[in-house]
Amino acid sequence: MKFENIQGKQTIETLSITLGITTGSALNLVSKLKKQNLAIVTGGGKQKRIYTIYKLPTKPNNGFYEVVNKYSKEKLLPKYKHYIYGKYTIEHAIVDGICLGDIRTLNATKYLFNRVTNWKRLFDLAKKRNKTDEVHKLYTEARKTMRCRKMPKRYEK
């Protein structure tokens, strides 16, 4: 099998034509490549599925910048690759954004206060890093500029 021919973005049809195999065999090949982290799937539904195939295995990004860009109106360009193993919640992202301390990052993390579900987790993480004052300060700024969920009274200063 010539692996050099199938790098880049492919559909099942183009993959089966370039390798000279049936579409079922191409689907089996793509599923094996996905298990080895050599292929990423985009599209689906009404769109055509596009498979991006790599030479080296890729790690999935599910870190700070993905969470912020998903929920914030201000999008951030990643300064570094943030790999997380396990569960990474919005509360983690707020504390990480405060630890970065960049003005643009702080403005983007303000939007995450509307998605907080577990205030206790947020303040436990902030206590570990001694950032409870910064969390309160950012929350009050967020309340002034936009609509946010109300913080429970026990966590107010």
Q: How confident is the model at residue 5 (pLDDT cuts 50, 70, 90)?
A: low
Residues 6+ apart with CB under 8 A from 4: none
Q: pTM for the full model?
A: 0.70
Q: Between 30 and 7, where is the model more confident?
A: 30
The architecture CATH gives domain 4-53: Orthogonal Bundle (1.10)
Ramachandran assignment for 20, one of left (phi > 0), alpha (psi -120 to 50 degrees), beta (any other): left
Return the structure tokens found at 18.
């370039």
pLDDT in tens, 90-149: 999 999 999 998 999 999 999 999 999 999 999 999 999 999 999 999 999 999 999 988
Across the range 17-38, mean pLDDT stands at 92
From-to residues of CATH 1.10.10.10 in the chain:
4-53
Q: What is the mean pLDDT of the chain?
A: 90
- The answer to whether 129 and 91 are in contact (CB under 8 A) is no
